[in-house]
Structure 1
């Protein structure tokens, strides 16, 4: 069991969730406010996407990412920032010509995906470690694209969070490490319950965990009703955890959640198991992240 837990709050994703609840943040200010609220509730890390403020749909705007980062960094409440770099991989076959991408297809090059990370230099960014049948669409991230993207992240000095949606993704993430494209102790995020990737159950999480390198830090999350059970299971198996409205909209059956309430519920769950949530400063030291104020790598004695 892990008694010192890094808790990530994924405050808003790219999915069509805004019509289902008023609590999903949309504008840069709303996203930043939710990052701050999650921090005050006890989260260690905020993971962010950005959305089109007019439509609520997916956005890759550097300006939106910049506004979120600036608002959070200017706040009195500290939190580690983790920017998505996995957008722009959605491929949906056209109904009339399935050899072509249809409406909703959104493909970016590795350089385009990396643009907000390279400009804003967050402490963490995601690196989605393979392609996947993602519900009714295909998420596209080829091996060569991943290698190129990993090189860009490494050159920027940002630590990648290696998101693995299936066992083969863990395999390829290890390959990136063997090729020297991942510096230091790797950070893995095991993503469970996405149709049709890794299932959200103990056997799957354990199988993925057992394939991780010995020097890995790792966390896991489940989507929907699996969020809290998978958070607890990750901690019991020695890992860290993620909650938030990107992955789950409900605090309990029939009760819509906020990001802060999900963080509070997870924190209480971990405390009842005999664990505690690490502060952002402790998280930077554990993961050897760059201090956003000084640019220096935080060591264990600096927490």
Structure 2
């Protein structure tokens, strides 16, 4: 039976319960607070791998998991409002009486924002992007409130030199001719887009599209057509005469050399995937033997299947093995043999895998990445995820992209639009945007050129592509 007492029937003792406690701010938090209190300096931590500066500081870089707790850097007490909210209720635990503004503020020199009070301005006048500066507490609090609050930054007073009349032009900094040329060159190269033609892959067959190459001579002819259409690089999976992918050193070298003989300028990027069922040694030994200018470097073990996208029927079910040891050993072998890796990224996890192995320090800048969309087992093309990958790249990186089937042209268009490069070809898709079968990879290159030019970019020549990607011509 439930008991239902009125308050008047109960014996109640009113009182307060206080519990003494000690709170440890942690090693990183303690350094941050004591430096703020004693020196009125705001300190962040910087990742030595990706150069990201975190504020508030933390122990580990979220991007590449590096221990950063001892890599302290001072950030400026000035910054800008990234976002804000107005607190409109009172509570004894709040630091101000309502209404007041809590703002997300990114300080100059930091890459992440911190939350703090914004005072000295009416809430309705606060705007995202406004410049603010820290106001330090007059006496220590041993908390984050040693920054009492942030306030709108005061405009700097104009300085008038006593040696110059008011209104005189400031002298421009002296820039050397070499620096001017380098700046102009970088600006010019930013308009260039590298177009790659993936000529065959391991699965596209002549019964699907007759123009897919099998023999070394067919590869050479198709590569030349792609070069004339505007491609700077071809990506190659060598084939036997019957169309099966091969790891045979002689066949791969014959294919590579036939392309270079027909089209000496073009960059040849060999696949280290080769085909299904090949051992790690078979996959990397052909790269070491041929020594192309560039080769693909895959980043994660994954499902890599062929599935009917309308019905979900599975035609080929395959696990594509790329262990950390393979990523390490393949990457080292390429760098040691003068072969520039093109890092194949099928999802964000693959990029994180590369970040982990890159800590060993053998990858050389600039880094070159290829975002791969539409593989059954990888990611479908999504513009928002494209930007996540792009924004996660390390400094000194180039990126291109490719998409399987109907995802090919939307993906390469976006890549070109946001400053990246483009890969097309029969390995990824056998049709052009109209839905018709492509006459060859070269016709897809022609479409890529049109897209690039419509977006104000120009196809890079092979030598310009080498300059952008850090390749040495063979």
C-alpha displacement of 1:145: 1.7
1:195 aligns with 2:376: yes
Residue number among 259, 264, 268 corresponding to 1:81 in the alignment: 268
CA contact (8 A) 1:125 1:159 kept: yes
Q: How does 1:155-166 map to 2 (within 5 A)?
A: 155-166=336-347
**Equivalence for 2:207:** 19
Looking at structure 1, the residues matched to 466 and 345 of structure 2 have their Cα atoms a distance apart, in angstroms, of 22
Separation in structure 2 between the aligned mates of residue 130 and residue 64 of structure 1, nearest angstrom: 27
The alpha-carbon deviation at position 107 of structure 1 amounts to 3.1
Is 1:265 matched up with 2:447?
yes
Indicate how the Cα distance of structure 1 residues 155 and 18 shifts in structure 2: closer, same or farther if over 3 A, else same.
same
Cα deviation, 1:82-130, whole Å, max 9, x if unaligned, reads 0111235x4xxxxxxxxxxxxxxx1312x32122221221110000111
Give 1:253 deviation, angstroms. Answer: 4.4
**Unpaired stretches in structure 2, ≥5 consecutive residues:** 1-189, 306-316
Q: Work out whether residues 84 and 125 of structure 1, in 8 Å CA contact, stay in contact via their aligned partners in 2.
A: yes
Q: Does 1:178 align with 2:359?
A: yes
Aligned pair 1:66/2:218, yes or no? no
How do 1:208-247 and structure 2 match up within 5 A?
208-247=389-428
SS in 1 for 2:228: helix
**For residues 121 and 146 of structure 1, what CA distance do their matches in structure 2 show?**
18
Q: CA deviation at 1:184?
A: 1.7
Higher mean C-alpha displacement, 71-80 vs 238-247: 71-80
Distance 1:145 1:220 in 2: 23
Query: Helix, strand or coil: the match of 1:50?
Result: coil
* Secondary structure, counterpart of 1:107 in structure 2: coil
Determine which structure has more spread, i.e. the larger CA radius of gyration.
2
Q: 1:229, CA displacement in angstroms?
A: 1.1
User: Residue 302 of structure 2 is aligned with which of 132, 151, 155?
Assistant: 132
Q: TM-score, normalising length from structure 1?
A: 0.86
Per-residue deviation, 1:19: 1.8
Which consecutive residues of structure 1, in runs of 5 or more, have no partner in the other structure?
Answer: 91-105, 293-303
Cα 1:245–1:76 shift into 2, 3 Å: closer
Is the counterpart of residue 153 in structure 1 residue 324 in structure 2?
A: no
Change (3 A) 1:76 1:21: closer
How big is the shift at 1:177? Answer: 2.0
Distance 1:79 1:72 in 2: 8
Q: Contact 1:150–1:182 (CA<8 Å) still a contact in 2?
A: yes
Structure 1 distance, partners of 2:447, 2:435, is 16
Which residue in 1 is equivalent to 2:231? 43
Match of 1:112 in 2: 282
Residue-pair matches, total: 273
Label 1:78 to 1:59 Cα distance change in 2 as closer, same or farther (>3 A).
Answer: same
Counterparts of 1:146 and 1:223, CA distance in 2: 23
The CA deviation at 1:76 is 4.9
Q: Is the 8 A contact 1:147 1:181 kept in 2?
A: no
Distance 1:265 1:253 in 2: 10
2:465 is aligned with 1:283? yes
Identify the structure with bigger relative contact order (alpha carbons < 8 Å, sequence gap 6+): 1
Name the TM-score, length of structure 2 as normaliser. Answer: 0.56
- Quick one: distance in 2 between partners of 1:190 and 1:67? 29
Which stretch shows the higher mean deviation, 205-214 or 124-133? 205-214
Distance 1:120 1:16 in 2: 24
Per-residue CA deviations over 1:242-271 (Å, capped at 9, x if unaligned) read 000000001144411111110011001110
* Aligned CA-pair RMSD: 1.4
Alpha-carbon deviation of 1:187? 0.4
Q: Which string of whole-angstrom CA distances, capped at 9 and with x for unpartnered residues, describes residues 162-221 of structure 1?
A: 001111111111222221131121100000111121211211211111211121111111
**1:147 Cα shift?**
0.9
Q: Partner residue of 1:96?
A: none
